[in-house]
Chains A and B, each alone.
Chain A
Amino acid sequence: MLSSLEPIVVLSLVVGAVAAVILAGVLIALVVFTVRYRDPRPGLAPQIHGHRTLELAWTIAPLALLAIVFALSLVTLGQIGRGATFGSLEPPLRISVIGHQWWFEFRYPGGAVTANEAHIPAGVPIELELSSPDVIHDLWVPELGAKSDVVPGQTNVLRLFTARAGTFSGACAEFCGLEHAWMRVVVVAEPRADFDRWLTAQAAPPAVTAGPGADVFRGNVCVACHVIAGVGGTAVGPDLSHVGARRTLAGGVLANTADALRAWIADPQRYKPGALMPKVPLSDADLAALVAYLGSLK
């Protein structure tokens, strides 16, 4: 199987075909009757009051069609549902996903923690355990198929899979407040080897944990909300241990470049109004050092 999307596509083609036939039938009848039986013609129309067998026919026929569609949907559900393996022999990789207002946190076995960007090994079933500390979110990566709500007070499980490497863009699909729009995610599927390399890198503390940038981070409120392994901090916002390695910032609102990073830190509200990160007054020198340091955290 190519991906967890495949069974859904197949089913959608079947349902689409059924729907198209029905729609065509109804529209053709509608147009033909409108044109064909249009006034003026002499005399009264035949006063037909109904037809029992016809009624029966157009009750049974849809029933039958729907029964088939329903059965097929159960099959598909089995292919993408709880225990789905997607024809892969590999044991599933468990990743815990935490939806925050307004960013996704990914926690890997082995301690790696990232934000808004998840890497997965191609060819391995992924089992996401979804939870939320605040409101209901919903993780959706269209190219991987099904989505699942992220509901506070319960842990939902979502199985995804892709055989081919690639970078997929996704988002939070359940309205969760002001910046629901900028709660986007990037999922990077890569060959097992590359993935393992990435994972070990992410799990390890950054190479540099001291210097001017680190001092600015430690010396300002940043530490009150962010963690840089080896430097310290508290995990309120995204873990920044390897923020430099990410493609985007703050749920996709900015591409992760030095300029963007500076701009974001200088005034988050300008790019993501409502984001739960305040504007922190910093001297240009401090800001430069900080940006240089964070950017270096690959």
Chain B
Amino acid sequence: MTATAIVRRPGAFATAGVLRTVDHKDIGILYVLLGVAFLVIGGIEALLLRIQLATPNERVLDPSTYDQLFTMHGVTMIFLVAIPLLIGFANYVVPLQIGAEDVAFPRLNALSFWLTLFGGVLLYLSFVAGGAPDAGWFAYAPLTEPAHSVGNGMDWYIFGLAVSGAGTIIGAINLAVTILLMRCPGMVMGRAPLFTWMILVTSVLIIGAYPILTSALVMLLVDRQLGGRFFDPAGGGNATLWQHLFWSFGHPEVYIVALPAFGMISEIVPVFSGKPLFGYRFVAASGIAIGFLSFGVWAHHMFAVGLGDAENAFFSATSMLIAVPTGVKIFNWLATMYRGRIRLAMPMVFAIGFIATFVVGGLTGVSLAVVPLDLYTTDSYYVVGHLHYVLFGGTVLAVFAGLYYWFPKVTGRLLGHRLGLAHFWLTFAGLTLAFLPMHWLGIQGMPRRVWTYPPGLGWEWSNLVSTVGAFLMAAGVLILAVNVWRSVRAGEIAGDDPWDAYTLEWATPSPPPAYNFAAVPRVRGKRPLWDRKHPDRMDPP
């Protein structure tokens, strides 16, 4: 019966159908495909950056091209890779995990996907319409003011982010309502799976943070198109206002792309350790704490702006505080593995890799929250190292883990283990070679966003190694592509519950029928499937 399902799924995907689909599973798949496509695009942009930086005084790219590429790389990876991938998983998995038939607003769901895609298209049209945005992903004024920016790249940035942002906000509202109102009988929030929990928190963060970006974008548009003066000091405006507005969106944003990843790890680690998640309540609560705190730390991106020692000290303290709830998660994952029956299937392998690299990124983050250290490292490659350890070593590795974990549910077939291991080791080696030396480069004094650099400062080797690492990661992605391709065509049939998992998405066929569940599930504990399989030793309700 899974077999028939497999032929049905591609059938449903015959383009015409897909364009009109409102089924949360199809939308989820579309989101993930969008994210992967842009991962390749943003990745190729990164490879170009790395080629230009491989050796000093390189001239493969001219400064203008380089600036457009690093800006588009950052924007793409944050808004068109991390967000779509995570929202995509949320779309597919959450309704299944809470035993619902679909999301609350299926049509709106399709709308938010198409808005995100359209936003991405707008951003990339800039390349053919006289130049892409070139002021960095956080587009500091007054470099973005008409007086200092040539071409209309920044206008494309404004519209692209506003449109995809609208899609993201609508998607978040949809997911929040779904989680709040559509949980199946018995599933009180206190029993909801951690991934669902983190998506709820994330949705709230999106609703609270994205509109700030939108208003900042509107103001920038007024400045650029109506001669406004918000961010133009020459006209009495204020250059740092943009930074305050952007980062009071931008910092929550980095947790928006981190919390769902934490959620995935909190699903995978227990299943492959054969144990319940250690300290469920604390892991969920720490997610909420991170969400709250994330609105009170934005100025840690502005320590060198000259806000004043008191302000800096305050934001330093709040930033350090976030380490505590994040640590709680790490420690609980470790405690979950303790005395477990650990199965090193690909999802678990990537989850373990995630913990290792994310902790490094987190710790460098704390070092950046220490004002005197940040005054040295800010705007240097040390920051670039940090952000890739948390974004690639964190978010992307978690997404890979989630991909190996839920792929069988989506397609009915398992991904290959041997290719999986190759993918993992190439990625792990690649990210270490590419991003670890960046910290050293920063400490040696290499500023970020330089299109080239002089020889003789001791930066040559680290940059070369970093470039090699980048290509290893690319090779890893190519292997993943091969793995997916082979598995979709002739992968091992997964069955409903290939991982002996705990949550409801595994209680329905793979792939699930359009209506998700033949009968509305009822749950009495945190691990419905465990309870079904072990009536003798059910979880305490």
Contact = CB atoms under 8 A, between A and B. Distances in A.
Contacts of B218: none
A169 B458 CA distance: 12
Given A44-B274, A148-B306, A173 B359 contact: no
B2 interface: no
A291 interface: no
A66 B341 contact: no
Given A8-B372, A37-B340, A63-B324, A181 B136 contact: no
B486 interface: no
Given A41-B341, A175-B135, A59 B143 contact: no
Given A58-B331, A62-B323, A252-B454, A48 B339 contact: yes
B453 A181 contact: yes
A81 B372 CA distance: 9
B135 to A, nearest CB: 7
Interface in B218-239: 233-234, 237-239
A46 interface: yes
B378 A147 contact: yes
A23 B449 CA distance: 29
B60 to A, nearest CB: 13
Contacts of A178: 63-64, 67
Please tell me the size bucket of the interface on A: 35 or more
Contacts of A19: 363-364, 366-367
B237 to A, nearest CB: 8
Interface stretch (A25-33, A111-119, A218-226, A257-265): A25-33
Nearest to B236: A153
A77 B371 contact: yes
A134 B457 contact: no
Query: For chain B, which range describes its interface: under 10, 10 to 19, 20 to 34, or 35 or more residues?
Result: 35 or more
Contact of A147 (B273, B309, B375, B451): B375
B82 interface: no
Contacts of A123: none
Interface in B140-159: 140, 142-143, 148
Nearest to B343: A39
Interface of A: 5, 7-8, 11-12, 15-16, 19, 22-23, 26-27, 29-30, 33-34, 37-41, 44-51, 54-55, 58-59, 62-63, 66, 69-70, 73-74, 76-77, 80-82, 101, 134-136, 138, 140, 142-143, 145-149, 151-154, 156-157, 169-181, 184, 252, 273-274
Interface of B: 62-64, 67, 135-136, 140, 142-143, 148, 233-234, 237-240, 273-276, 278-282, 304-306, 309, 312-313, 316-317, 320-321, 323-324, 327-328, 330-332, 334-335, 337-344, 352, 355-356, 359-360, 363-364, 366-367, 370-373, 375-376, 378-380, 444-445, 447-454, 457, 534, 537, 539-540
The 6 tightest CB contacts between A and B, nearest first, are: A153-B233, A142-B445, A181-B450, A146-B375, A173-B379, A156-B306
